[in-house]
Amino acid sequence: MRLALAQLNPLVGDLAGNGARILAACHQVAAQGASLVVTPELSLWGYPPRDLLLRPSLITQQGVVLQQLADALAEELPQLAVLVGIAEPNGAAALPNLFNAVALVQAGRWRVVARKRLLPTYDVFDEQRYFCAASEPSLLELEQGGRRWRLGLTICEDLWVEEELQGHRLAGADPVAELLPHHVDLLLNLSASPFGQAKVALRQSLAHRAATRLSCPVVYVNQVGGNDELVFDGASFVMNPRGGPDAGRAVVCQLACGREQVLTWDAAPCAAPSTPHPDALLLTPVPEPLEQLFRILVLGVADYARKCGFHAALLGLSGGIDSALVAVIAAAALGGERVQGLLMPSPWSSEGSLRDAQALAARLGLTTQIAPIAPLMAGFDAALTPVLAGPPAGLAAENLQSRIRGTLLMAVANQQGQLLLSTGNKSELAVGYCTLYGDMNGGLAVIGDLYKTTVFALCAWLDSPAAGPCRRALGLPADGELVGQAIREKPPSAELQPDQRDSDSLPDYAVLDPILRRYIEHLQSPEALIADGTPAELAHRVMALLRRAEFKRRQAPPLLKIGSRSFGSGWRMPIAAANLEGRLRS
Amino acid sequence: MRLALAQLNPLVGDLAGNGARILAACHQVAAQGASLVVTPELSLWGYPPRDLLLRPSLITQQGVVLQQLADALAEELPQLAVLVGIAEPNGAAALPNLFNAVALVQAGRWRVVARKRLLPTYDVFDEQRYFCAASEPSLLELEQGGRRWRLGLTICEDLWVEEELQGHRLAGADPVAELLPHHVDLLLNLSASPFGQAKVALRQSLAHRAATRLSCPVVYVNQVGGNDELVFDGASFVMNPRGGPDAGRAVVCQLACGREQVLTWDAAPCAAPSTPHPDALLLTPVPEPLEQLFRILVLGVADYARKCGFHAALLGLSGGIDSALVAVIAAAALGGERVQGLLMPSPWSSEGSLRDAQALAARLGLTTQIAPIAPLMAGFDAALTPVLAGPPAGLAAENLQSRIRGTLLMAVANQQGQLLLSTGNKSELAVGYCTLYGDMNGGLAVIGDLYKTTVFALCAWLDSPAAGPCRRALGLPADGELVGQAIREKPPSAELQPDQRDSDSLPDYAVLDPILRRYIEHLQSPEALIADGTPAELAHRVMALLRRAEFKRRQAPPLLKIGSRSFGSGWRMPIAAANLEGRLRS
């Protein structure tokens, strides 16, 4: 049986458009002789549809689109069957009243053939808000090439049942174990699994474990593309069981990371396992982590802009490393000629900053404009002096400079129809070293999930010879510096006071970031850090800063999630709560 | 048995402080001879604790605080038992690994006596993110006054099992039905049920239904106070069953709306039901809806400010009805002398606007300052003209004025340590008739869940003689106009262009608001509206505006939720999605 893995990039909520995308993929693979097309989880909706799932009219429209797809297949590709991810109404009055399901669409008809068992309701996932968990495993029997195929069907989290690989798992059934007695020929998994570091290897390990348990190949089809904060990397594959007929190669079909791809694969009836060998040899080599990260950020920006209808982007270029990195990502995503940098020097900006920003823009082919803010600083001082009995001072004055720049950027973006990209990193967002309605302004916080030390590392990689092929592939200049040594090596500064450095207010990022990681990603307490040697004052101060910046993060733009715990929809903290001492710029 | 209903106002995450609050309530009622104190759901944490529940160190701290409470009771009040809402670790490796539970704390010890069955995971609620559902009903036997009392224990949603009263219910057990065979003497419900219109009556109807099914009184103890977007009204009560011994009075104990209160009630062994009578006669009269709404908004502002550590507030006073209403609410919440109004006229502001704003401030006792924005408009035009080859125009120019004001407000609030209140209403937020980083600026969107027509109605009520007693009780001037006819009756205008009116860009609010209600609260489609007579162009235009403003709402400040579906944490819509045509100010 020739299967097609359709790794598609849907537009969320565009039922008709996504249906058309699926039909186009069917045409493509039918010409190659495929008989069954597998699409990602909720492929008709795009993942995550979020509260669009609550609108009954869209559920009705889904039925219409499914029937149109079935009719088109009947007319144009009567031999082809396709598995489509849908939201199935369960007819109950009690809530939630949907299943996260899979429909088999074929020759004028469709029917539900699988329902999801394990519904992720952690981090960014809210599936129990919308869906009921199914109580039975899903089996599909298909007649193909004179043979009856038994397919086990699972949906994303249904495969995530290996506590010791994952660290933890969702309470509930083990859908893989429940398929054992059914002796399936293939296990299919329709996924929408967002990018995360080490996620490609983890998914393959899970699939390999399932393949080995069931003694059959696992066909894993993942969504690709950026949808708001989530970037789906695709990287779909077919995994053989340990010691299968294709010994030494567990991954027998591998799709691309980060782009749409539709590939066919020929399933053969399962042979008995032969020689076992260690997992490590079986998996696809994971791409270099920094390259993978860079490509994901580029995809996230490109898709967010495209899916929101923007053709161009704007950002403030300070001469610092954060805006430099965002400029590089934006140039790779949209083309340098569609990215504009606005330079907004103040009396506290160093000469080097302006020069470095212009040199960077020249390397990337960005257009730039200069709008000095000193006259506006004087204008606000004049307007505020009667109100405050003196000009604003201290943090209020620092915030004001940032807000003047934020206002200039929004005026330019509004007038020119550009997407404003904000340039803050995760370390700043964590401790509140950023200005709400100022440098936080933008439609997308491109590096809002990168700690400052990761920003340094990514820029160092971009400027290294190792990045040459990737830079070339993404249309960036392949030779010489890109970010540039001057930008990479200057001490971080917000330049909101004369001779200001980040280190005046914050610990060195090499000290701060590990503390933040332990608080944020590993949920550790100040006490745990102190027990490990962090000075008590520092541990408590960082925790207080983190808590106190909650109100800023609540109003931050969406960021591109790349880590395990990000300041986005998966970060749900109260604002009016205990531990509110300490504060930086607001 | 003398029970105490402890309707407490916790600070979220302040385990030690909330424990102390519970102990203080115990002292208060022990003097009155109570033997069992009932506190609200998760009373040790404050509801909703959100992701604080994910921090293991806080779970550990909870154990310490519980033991401290038990020790204090042993020493100071050895006869008293207290039911405390806690998050109980279930010891499992799989997630989620907590129960939403109740501990009985008494004489040096504590033990879990109840676990929640129905876990709301809809709207603003995320309980399945944190909690497992318990599979058994919870019974507690207590020896009191020589008698063995059988208490049924339920937690909040466990009582919400009457589909035809609620419109819909959560799938799952019926915890009330499962208690039937146990012949309980009392049903206790520990709740954290936020305010909603008609919610007081609904809760009482549910309790009355449960009391009647179980033939025993229901003791309903609700949290009170504002926690971020949610305002808990309290209004705890004891409800007798239909036709019980106290026929004609179903509510036998009623606590206040909107403030902490601890009240005792004497439970008597249950008699057999006697004459039935209609539900309508049994319930507490619901307070006048507009008064109730006003008091909730005042409580929401007062608690948000207090719990975030602010003693004073600032707002922009435009002379329009929205900022006028917010000024009245803020004056009632904090005292007029702690509220400052900033007037920021532009060349497009009418003379009446300034005059009306100043008269309002005088009535409320606010301090005011004037900061005209014309010089800053000219300053930005000068800064932007070289960048844009001309000054900003159209929507970009409108947004710019709003952002100049937003920046002035933040500078003043930052310098003076005030909470900035934003003044936009739900109709504006729905269609995007507001400026991100401009008039949307603030720590709290006070009326962000009030449609414009509700703003009109609430202001008309405030100016009516009927509001006199409420105004007096809240320390506002009791006589004469408060908002004022001039402000109430002027045509709505953003005053961002000469002679601009909202009706230039939007349908009349009397037309717009019912459409928005049907889209937002009732999840209706444009097609359903068209079928009911709404012009097709209008229906589609409003829907497009609503979808297109998603990116603004994502960055909006928290609002005070008063409706059934609000633009807060319960509104989870994608931004980069289908149907993105149309746009107003951005």
Given an 8 Å threshold on Cβ–Cβ distance, is A384 in contact with B371?
A: yes
Of the candidates B51, B373, B386, which has its C-beta nearest A571's C-beta?
B51
CA distance A513 to A453: 7
- Residue A156 annotated as catalytic: yes
The answer to whether the CB of B187 falls within 8 A of the CB of B216 is: yes
The pLDDT value recorded for residue A247 is 47
Secondary structure (3-state) at B480: coil
On whether any CB of chain B is under 8 Å from the CB of A64, the answer is no
Both structure tokens of B425: 């209403």
Residue A145's pLDDT is 81
Catalytic residue among A132, A156, A216, A253: A156
Q: Give the ipTM of the model, two decimals please.
A: 0.95
Contacts of A3 (CB under 8 A, 6+ apart): A34, A35, A36, A37, A38, A186, A219, A264, A265, A266, A267
Whether B387 and A369 lie within 8 Å, measured CB to CB: yes
HEC string for B380-414: HHHHHHHHHCCCCCHHHHHHHHHHHHHHHHHHHHH
- Judge whether B532 is closer than 8 Å to chain A, CB to CB: no
pLDDT of residue B483: 98
- For chain B, the residue count is 586
Q: In this complex, do B580 and A308 lie within 8 Å of one another by their Cβ atoms?
A: yes
Could you list the pLDDT tens digit for every one of the 586 residues in chain A?
A: 999 999 999 999 999 999 999 999 999 999 999 999 999 999 999 999 999 999 999 999 999 999 999 999 999 999 999 999 999 999 988 999 999 999 999 989 999 999 999 999 999 999 999 999 999 999 999 998 889 999 999 999 999 999 999 988 999 999 999 999 999 999 999 999 999 988 999 999 999 999 999 999 999 999 999 999 999 999 999 999 976 554 455 898 999 999 999 999 999 865 544 333 444 344 565 568 999 999 999 999 999 999 999 999 999 999 999 999 999 999 999 999 999 999 999 999 988 999 999 999 999 999 999 999 999 999 999 999 999 999 999 999 999 999 999 999 999 999 999 999 999 999 999 999 999 999 999 999 999 999 999 999 999 999 999 999 999 999 999 999 999 999 999 999 988 888 889 888 899 999 999 999 999 999 999 999 999 999 999 999 999 999 999 999 999 999 999 999 999 999 999 999 997 443 344 4
3-state secondary structure A130-141: HECCCCCCEEEE
The residue in chain A having the minimum alpha-carbon distance to the alpha carbon of residue B343 is: A387
Respond yes or no on whether the N-terminal peptide bond of residue B181 is cis (omega within 30° of 0): no
Calculate how close chain B gets to A164, using CA atoms only, in Å: 10
CB atoms closer than 10 angstroms to residue B464: 12
Residues of A in contact with B370 (CB under 8 A): 386
Is any Cβ of chain B less than 8 angstroms from the Cβ of A268?
Answer: no
Separation CA A542–CA B359 (nearest Å)? 46
Q: Where are the alpha helices (DSSP H) in A223-320?
A: 289-308
Question: How many contacts, defined by CB atoms under 8 Å, are there between A and B?
Answer: 294
Question: Is A13 within 8 Å of B168 when comparing Cβ atoms?
Answer: no
Count of alpha carbons within 13 angstroms of residue B101, beta-carbon side: 24
Q: Which residues of B touch A416 (CB under 8 A)?
A: 388
Selected residues 449-488 of chain B with any CB under 8 Å from a CB in chain A: none
**pLDDT at residue number B197:** 86
* CA pair distance B376, A411, nearest whole angstrom: 14
Contacts of A411 in chain B (CB under 8 A): 380, 384, 388, 392, 396, 399-400, 403
Phi, psi of A100 (to 5 degrees): -85, 110
Out of A88, A116, A253, A452, the active site residue is A116
| Kind plus residue range of the DSSP H or E element containing A60 | helix A56-76
What pLDDT is attached to residue B168? 87
Identify the bridge partners of residue A83 per DSSP, sorted by sequence position. A38, A104
Query: Is B156 designated active site?
Result: yes
- Ranges of beta strands (E only) in B324-364 are 339-343
A316 lies within 8 A of chain B by CB: no
The closest alpha carbon to A199, from A170, A159, A229, A171, belongs to A159
Mutate to test the interface with A, among B11, B163, B414 (most CBs of A within 10 A): B414
Instruction: Beginning with the edge strand found earlier in the chain, give each strand of the sheet holding B81-89 in spatial order.
Output: B109-115, B98-106, B81-89, B36-38, B2-7, B261-266
- In chain B, which residues have pLDDT < 50? 246-247, 272-282, 580-586
Number of CB atoms found within 10 A of residue B560's CB: 28
CB contact under 8 A, B414 and A395: yes
Cα–Cα distance measured from residue A522 to residue A520, given in angstroms and rounded to the nearest whole number: 6
Place of tokens 């993404």: A474
* Whole-angstrom distance, CA of residue B300 vs CA of residue B330: 10
Distance CA B50, CA A575 (A): 10
The question of whether A527 is a catalytic residue gets the answer no
Mutation target vs A (from B415, B530, B569; most A CBs, 10 A cutoff): B415
Interchain pair B525, A551: CB under 8 A: no
